Amino acid sequence: MFEHTFIGLDVHAVSVVGCALNPETGELVHAKMDSDPAMVLEWIRRCEPPVKVVYESGPTGYVLARYLREAGIDCVVAASSKLLRAPSDKVKTDKRDARLLAEMLALGQITQVRVPTRDQEDLRDLSRLRSTAAKNLAHARQQVNAILLRHGIRYPKETKWTKEHGAWLHRQRFDSPVLQFTYDADVEQAEFLAAQLKRIDQRVVAAARECQYAPVIDALMCLRGIQTTTGFGLAVEIGDWTRFTGSSIGSYLGLVPSEQSSGQSRHQGPITKAGSKYARKLLIEAAWQHQRPYSRPGERLLRQLELVGPATRIRALEGNHRLHHKWEVFDARKKRSVTANTAIARELAGWCWSLAAPLQHGDHGQGDRMNAA
């Protein structure tokens, strides 16, 4: 009945604790070793084959999983948020965690996460670098604005952070040498981060053009509100779109309402905010663009539509029309803009899936790309 030795690994930066479980005999074998993939593999090979290995997703990443898979070991990574633990279990040690993973793997209770390739993980790191740089720039600019506001200095025009605004910032002078130094340092930091973000954006554009997700990015950019950095971020965060359906991808990204139901009562609350926070943020920001009236594609969108095949073009145009119509329905019902935008973001996720998933199925996607060429 049982064909595997099930191995749970509690992986840390410095050490790994392993527990090998033989379900037929109930025998448990524990070991502690350095966090070296070669040492972990050597210990695993001492166990009675065939073996199946699991460890919990976390900051140690997927290096160990890829190493074991390349060595021919069946290794999966468990979603940490899906691991079951009894409420009364108050003792948590590395040894017990490894045993729990082995037992759950033997029972088939592990929810696996997708293990990206090295290239896919590199692209995702670049996308997240861009997100971090944008946050740092926004914070630095807020620091500059805050100093000026506290001292009663206001820029006379509406549009900020232009060349004209930059020259105006450098002309500001304060009586206190300490305050002047602080202000100059904040302005210098904001300018440095703006230049850094521009350099990162250039690298993202180059990567989006050359990477394996290029057809998917081109398709996503046919929807309003999605440009290169947004399309690149969504493509690398989701990775394999074929894992989902048009309705399930919204749940994966945490865009569906939470729910507390019992008996005859049913209560829906805020969205679950599960999955990738960055991908959810990109969709919510893009959804605002569909509030604007839409009659025909603009010049940028027309150029983008020329890069994709006819099937993708038709779906994208339909999606743009229907997403704006959805906004009109919410406005007619006098829904709060924030609530409506979240619902539109959920719809947008489904339309993104409808464009990206066919391209990753192989036959349809290649044909669509060839037609576009």
Angle at 84 between CA 79 and CA 87, to 5 degrees: 140
pLDDT band at 369 (very low <50, low <70, confident <90, very high): very low
pLDDT per residue as tens digits for the range 233-276:
999 999 999 999 998 999 999 999 998 888 888 888 899 998 89
Cβ proximity of 63 and 40 under 8 Å: no
Cβ proximity of 7 and 52 under 8 Å: yes
Q: What percent of the chain has pLDDT over 70?
A: 96
Query: In this model, does residue 366 exceed pLDDT 80?
Result: no
φ and ψ at residue 287, rounded to 5 degrees: -65, -30
φ and ψ at residue 54, rounded to 5 degrees: -140, 145
> 362: alpha, beta or left, given left = phi > 0 and alpha = psi -120 to 50?
left
pLDDT band at 363 (very low <50, low <70, confident <90, very high): very low
> 60: alpha, beta or left, given left = phi > 0 and alpha = psi -120 to 50?
alpha
pLDDT at 367: 36
Query: In this model, does residue 373 exceed pLDDT 80?
Result: no
Rounded to an integer, the average pLDDT of 11-37 is: 94
pLDDT band at 370 (very low <50, low <70, confident <90, very high): very low
Question: CB-based burial of residue 367 (10 Å sphere; 0-12 exposed, 13-18 middle, 19+ buried)?
Answer: middle
pLDDT per residue as tens digits for the range 44-55:
999 988 999 999
Residue with tokens 């001292």: 151
Rounded to an integer, the average pLDDT of 7-28 is: 94
Distance CA 184, CA 128 (A): 29
pLDDT band at 3 (very low <50, low <70, confident <90, very high): low
Closest CA to 3 of 83, 84, 100, 108: 108
pLDDT band at 229 (very low <50, low <70, confident <90, very high): very high
Closest CA to 218 of 232, 206, 207: 232
Task: Name the residue with higher pLDDT: 48 or 312.
Answer: 312
Query: In this model, does residue 1 exceed pLDDT 70?
Result: no
Distance CA 64, CA 45 (A): 15
Cis peptide preceding 50, ω within 30 of 0 = yes
pLDDT per residue as tens digits for the range 142-201:
999 999 999 999 999 999 999 999 999 999 999 999 999 999 999 999 999 999 999 999
pLDDT at 365: 40
**Percentages helix, strand, coil for the chain, rounded to the nearest 5?**
55, 15, 30
pLDDT per residue as tens digits for the range 327-352:
999 999 999 999 999 999 999 999 99
> 152: alpha, beta or left, given left = phi > 0 and alpha = psi -120 to 50?
left
Rounded to the nearest integer, the mean pLDDT of the chain is 92
pLDDT at 206: 97
Task: Write the CA distances from 314 to 47, 181, 368, integer angstroms.
Answer: 55, 56, 12
Distance CA 201, CA 285 (A): 18
Query: In this model, does residue 372 exceed pLDDT 70?
Result: no
pLDDT band at 362 (very low <50, low <70, confident <90, very high): low
pLDDT at 338: 94
Is residue 349 classed as helix, strand or coil in its secondary structure? helix
What are the tokens at 64? Answer: 């160990």
pLDDT at 48: 86
Cis peptide preceding 270, ω within 30 of 0 = no
Question: CB-based burial of residue 179 (10 Å sphere; 0-12 exposed, 13-18 middle, 19+ buried)?
Answer: middle
Contact residues for 201 (Cβ-Cβ < 8 A; gap 6+): 130, 228, 229
* pTM for the structure as a whole: 0.89
pLDDT per residue as tens digits for the range 76-126:
999 998 888 877 778 889 999 999 999 999 999 999 999 999 999 999 999
